[in-house]
A and B are shown apart, each in its own frame.
Chain A
Amino acid sequence: MEQELISKKELLDVTGISYGQLYRWKRKDLIPEEWFIRKSTFTGQETFFPREKILTRIEQIKQLKDDLSLDELARRFSPDPAEIALSGEEMVRKGIVSEQSWRVYQLEHPNVAVCSFQETVFASVVHRALASGDVGLDEARSALRALEQSITVFSDLRVRIVCVRKLGVSVWVVQAADGQLVVDPDAKLVFEADVSECIEELKLKLM
């Protein structure tokens, strides 16, 4: 999973922010520590960032920082759970899940009327999987089961979920967000999603 990188200097030129701002945002946890990638170059140690992620994040911060305090922004970007409880209809109305994917969720949990934060996140991951068009209804259901199993292993939601299919049989894998994954060349990586990204998106929709 090689990603395109951007150097710190180039980042400042492109976005027009200053060193002080960058460090301030890092201090406030608006930019996660993992994005600071140190590499040695011929000019010594340099810091790089994942290009796509950092550019969209800085755009978001620049847009929102006039209306919100930095602490509030930090809460929004962090993958830590927020205090919410949503009913199915509300989630559909806010565009977190489609009706179809909410039905899939209900097949698995027939008695759930109001979702906690974590349940909402899982529902949105299911929705994402279904919306991608590469994953079938039954597969989406087993994705939900895989996610729910995984929370006993991982302490937080910084995980990725991946669907691998070979000869028509699909398997869901939940892995730590920074872990490497190599699949059998005959198998096909059908779907992948970063749960912390889903959370971010979810929080933007909620607030």
Chain B
Amino acid sequence: MQTEMGHDLHLSGHGSSTGGFYRNVHLEGLSTIDGDVVCEQCTAHGVARMHGNLRADMTAFHGKADVLGDMVTGSAEIHGTIRVSGVCDVAKILRIHGTSRLQGGVRADVLNIHGRTHVGAECVAREVELHGIAQFAQDIRAERMDCSGVLHLGGPCEAESFSCKGQVHSSGLINAERVHIRLHAKSEVQEIGCTELRVERGRGWFARRHKLVVDIIEGDHIYVENVVAKRIRGNRITLGNGVYAERVEYREELNRHHGAKVKEAVQV
């Protein structure tokens, strides 16, 4: 990044600045920045509030951070609470431990989130790893999606591989090459479209109560357990224990566990 001025900005205690071009930015304590900041490295401890955009090669926040503009950075490591009102554009890894609200959407290579997160707009990443509670209000596109915990999807989700341990709540389509869901408690998905689907119940005392309620499943190879579905359509379908399906349409093969209930099964 071109920063002609090699000055550092160091704020500690109760500090404020109007922003500008810097090499290193260190914020400690209660800091407010009123304009845009362009720097090589931005580190903040404590409460930081940025009223403009932040552009940095490397960003690290510890504590509470509020960015009211866009955050464009090479890589970011965040511990604590962060809110970004604009777009969050990270060239490499965005790692968040704690609570985050990313209102303007995310673009990243790798997205690694532990804790609670809310993404208010479109999210595009190569790899997404989520642990905890994640909420995506709109579309999400990734090559690999790996989550454990609770996942809320407000829009369609597209991935090459989608795997989830825990709960999924989706009001749109989950479209992936391979979908693997290990159920925990109750999940609800409107539609799944894939090549390979595997839905398994979790382990534990109440595993048989774990359910996935879904409108339509369409895929080539389908294996499901504990699924309540209106329609299941595919080439080879295996219905495991605890499945209830209103209508199953298969092309080649249908295997049914004796604990699976099917109202109507047709070969097409």
Give the complex CA separation of A8 and B218 in angstroms: 11
Cross-chain contact B216 with A45 (CB below 8 angstroms): yes
Cross-chain contact B175 with A26 (CB below 8 angstroms): yes
Chain A residues near B242 (CB-CB < 8 A): none
Chain A residues near B233 (CB-CB < 8 A): 9, 19
Cross-chain contact B193 with A23 (CB below 8 angstroms): yes
Cross-chain contact A19 with B193 (CB below 8 angstroms): yes
Residues 207-230 of B, flagged 1 when their CB comes within 8 A of A and 0 if not, give: 000000001101110000000001
Chain A residues near B104 (CB-CB < 8 A): none
Chain A residues near B194 (CB-CB < 8 A): 19-20, 23
Chain B residues near A22 (CB-CB < 8 A): 193
CB of B108 to closest CB in A, whole Å? 19
The residue of chain A having its C-beta at the shortest distance from the C-beta of B193 within the complex is: A23
Q: Which of B218, B235, B249 contacts A23 (CB 8 A)?
A: B218
Considering the complex, which residues of chain A in the window 15-62 have a beta carbon less than 8 Å from any beta carbon of chain B? 18-20, 22-24, 26-27, 43-45
CB of A48 to closest CB in B, whole Å? 14
CB of B199 to closest CB in A, whole Å? 16
Chain B residues near A44 (CB-CB < 8 A): 215-216, 230-231
Cross-chain contact A27 with B219 (CB below 8 angstroms): no
Chain B residues near A45 (CB-CB < 8 A): 215-216
Q: Which of A13, A20, A43 contacts B177 (CB 8 A)?
A: A20
Q: Would you call B105 an interface residue if the criterion is a C-beta within 8 Å of the partner chain's C-beta atoms?
A: no
Q: Which of B158, B216, B235, B268 contacts A18 (CB 8 A)?
A: B235
Chain B residues near A24 (CB-CB < 8 A): 177, 195
Q: Would you call B240 an interface residue if the criterion is a C-beta within 8 Å of the partner chain's C-beta atoms?
A: no
Chain A residues near B195 (CB-CB < 8 A): 18-20, 23-24
What range describes how many residues of B lie at the interface? Answer: 20 to 34
Cross-chain contact B215 with A19 (CB below 8 angstroms): no
Cross-chain contact A27 with B220 (CB below 8 angstroms): no
Give the complex CA separation of A41 and B235 in angstroms: 23
Give the complex CA separation of A194 and B194 in angstroms: 32
Cross-chain contact A27 with B231 (CB below 8 angstroms): no
Cross-chain contact B220 with A20 (CB below 8 angstroms): yes
Q: Would you call B234 an interface residue if the criterion is a C-beta within 8 Å of the partner chain's C-beta atoms?
A: yes
The residue of chain A having its C-beta at the shortest distance from the C-beta of B251 within the complex is: A18
Chain B residues near A19 (CB-CB < 8 A): 193-195, 218-220, 233-235
CB of B133 to closest CB in A, whole Å? 26
Chain A residues near B247 (CB-CB < 8 A): 43
Cross-chain contact B158 with A20 (CB below 8 angstroms): no
Chain A residues near B193 (CB-CB < 8 A): 19, 22-23, 26
Chain A residues near B215 (CB-CB < 8 A): 44-45
Chain A residues near B230 (CB-CB < 8 A): 44
The residue of chain A having its C-beta at the shortest distance from the C-beta of B218 within the complex is: A19
The residue of chain B having its C-beta at the shortest distance from the C-beta of A44 within the complex is: B230
Considering the complex, which residues of chain A in the window 88-140 have a beta carbon less than 8 Å from any beta carbon of chain B? none
CB of A5 to closest CB in B, whole Å? 18
CB of B268 to closest CB in A, whole Å? 7
Chain B residues near A26 (CB-CB < 8 A): 175, 193
Cross-chain contact A9 with B268 (CB below 8 angstroms): yes
The residue of chain B having its C-beta at the shortest distance from the C-beta of A18 within the complex is: B220
Known: A23-B176, A24-B195. 19 other contacts (CB 8 A): A9-B233, A18-B195, A19-B194, A19-B218, A20-B177, A20-B194, A20-B196, A20-B219, A23-B175, A23-B193, A23-B194, A26-B193, A27-B158, A27-B160, A27-B175, A27-B176, A43-B247, A44-B230, A44-B231
Q: Which 5 A-B pairs have the closest CB atoms?
A: A20-B195, A23-B193, A20-B220, A19-B218, A27-B158
Can you show 25 pairs from A to B with CB atoms below 8 A apart? A8-B218, A13-B268, A18-B195, A18-B235, A19-B194, A19-B195, A19-B218, A19-B219, A19-B220, A19-B235, A20-B194, A20-B195, A20-B219, A20-B220, A23-B218, A24-B177, A26-B175, A26-B193, A27-B158, A27-B160, A27-B176, A43-B231, A44-B215, A44-B231, A45-B215
